[in-house]
Amino acid sequence: MPCFPRKGSLNKQYKILYTIGQGGFGYVQLALHRLTGMPVAIKVVENLKTHLHLVLSEIAVLETVQHPHIIRLFQVLTTTKYCYIITEYASEGNLYELVKEEGRLQEEQAQVIFGQLVSAIRCCHDHDIVHRDLKPPNILLDAHGNVKLGDFGLATRCRAGTVLYGRCGTKSYNAPEMILREGYDGKKADVWSVGVLLYFMTTGHHPFKGSTLEETEKKITIGMYDIPAHICGQLENLIHQILTVAPERRPSIEDLQHHPWVKNPEGNIFSDPYPNPKIVDKLFDHGFAANEIFDSLQKRKYDEIMGTYLLLQEQEHQGLDFTSSVTTADPRPAPPPSPVPPLTSGRYLKRRASEPAFGLLHTRPSQQDKPDVSTPLWCPQKKSPTSSHAPPTKAASVPCVYHSRVEEEMPLPPGPDSNMEKSCLPQNIGCFSRLCRRIRVCLSRLCCFPRASNPQTRRVFNNKVAPLKESPSEE
C-alpha cells in the first residue's frame, strides 16, 4: 500500500540551512526542526531504481537497531522524485577528518573510540546485520566526540552459517576472503575491517599500502603489515589477532570486547516508558490528535508525529528542557542555494472538529476513527517508542514510489510555527487536569450547552461549526 505524503511537509517541519556533504547516492543537508529547534541531518536520495535497495537497506537497519553509538533515525518522507531520510546530526565530522587533521590518536582517545565502535557493531551482529562498508568516513562523531556509526547502504541480514559472495565496500578495508572472491562470513569480514580501522587511528596510515592496487591486494591476502615502535604490547597483540588471514581463526566481535586493551563504553542505553506521557502531552499541546499519536507510535510509521516524538525524546536524553518554547533562529551564516527542488510550502493543519482530544487513559480508537496518515517505511520488529511530527488533516498528496513496509529478510545489494495551534494552558498543569478539561470541552460541545468563557484559561480551537439554518417564520 503506497504512502501519500503531504506537499510541503518537509518545509513546514524543517528549516534547511545548507548542504553539508555528498555521498555515493545522495547528499546531506543540515536543518533545524521548527518545533523543537534540534539540528538534524536530511539525506536526500533521488528515486532511481539503482538507489532503491541502498535506501531500503539503510532505513531497515536504522529502524531495527537502536544504540547510543549508531546514528538515529527520526523520520522518512518520500515523494515521487526524492526520498528524505531525517537522522541524527553528527556535528564533529568523521574519523577520517579527525586523523588527517590531528594525526594518529593518543592511545586513551583511541581506546574510547574503538570501544564505542565495537559496541555498535556488536549490536548490529546481535541482530544478524553486517555492515560491509566499515571505513573512517562512516565513523561519525557527535558534539561530545562520541562515535555514531552510519551509512548502512551496503548492510545485509546474515544469519549464522550464511555464506555471502557479493564483493562490496572499499577494497583497502576488505577482508582477504573478499579480495580472493571467495564465499565469506559477513561478521568475520566486519571484524577484519575493524582491525584496519584500529591500525589507521593508532598509526595515522593504512596497514596495507602499496604502490599499485595489485600490490595492495597482495599484502591484504597474505597479511603483510608493519607495527610501529610506539604501539604498546597489548595493542599489538589485539591488531595481530584481528588481522588474521584465516577467517575461522579470526576473533568475533564479542571476543574483542573482552580483550584487556579494549575499553567498553559506559552503559548509557535509555529505557523509556512506552509511550512517554510527558512527550505525548507535549504533542497534545501542539494540536496533534490522540488517535493519530498512538497509531503512529504503535505502528512505528516514522512520519511527522513519530519524528517529533523522537526529537523530543532525544532532547530529554540530553537533559534539555523540551517543555519550553523554542526559537528557530539560524545559528549559522546564510546558506547557499539548495540543489533540492523545494517542496510546496503549506500551513500547519489544525485538529478537525469531528475529532475530540483523547487523554492518555482513553482506550485505543477504532479503525474507522483513524485518519489517513502517510506511512513511509517501517520495521515489523517491535521496539521502544519514538515520535514523529505529522499534521493530522489530509492535504494534497502525491503517490509514494516505495512500499510501506520492509520485509524481515532484507534483499540488500552490493519561521516558527505561527500557524500551528498552541495551547493557552500553563505548562505546569498536570496530565490529569488536562484530561478532565478536555472531557468537559467535548461534553459541552456534544450536549450543545454554552459555557462561560474564562479569558485566562480559555483553550483556542480552530473548529468551525456551520450555523443552523433559521426556520421560516410563521406568519
Cα–Cα distance, 70 to 68 (Å, whole number): 6
Catalytic residue among 133, 151, 185, 281: 133
Residue 117 to residue 150: CA distance in whole angstroms: 11
Sequence-ordered list of residues with C-beta below 8 angstroms from that of 274, at least 6 positions apart, any chain: 297, 384, 385
Given the DSSP bridges, would you call strands 156-157 and 73-78 parallel, antiparallel or unpaired?
unpaired
- Indicate if the alpha-carbon torsion angle 71, 126, 316, 416 is positive or negative: positive
Nearest to 328 by CA among 9, 7, 17: 17
Which of 13, 55, 19 is closest to 35 using CA atoms? 13
Measured on CA atoms in the order 373, 375, 380, 385, is the torsion positive or negative? negative
Amino acid 111 reads: Q
- Cell reading at 159: 544469519
Whether 29 and 67 have beta carbons less than 8 Å apart is answered as no
Number of C-beta neighbours around residue 182 at 10 A: 13
Sign of the CA dihedral running 324, 327, 318, 314:
positive
Largest Cα–Cα distance of the chain, in whole Å?
A: 110
Round to whole Å and give the CA distance between 130 and 156.
6
d(CA 433, CA 452): 18
In this structure, are strands 39-46 and 82-88 parallel, antiparallel, or unpaired? antiparallel
Task: Respond yes or no: is residue 133 known to be catalytic.
Answer: yes
Give the cell for residue 314: 532525544
Q: Is 16 strand, coil or helix? A: strand
End-to-end C-alpha distance for the chain, whole angstroms: 59
Residues belonging to the active site: 133
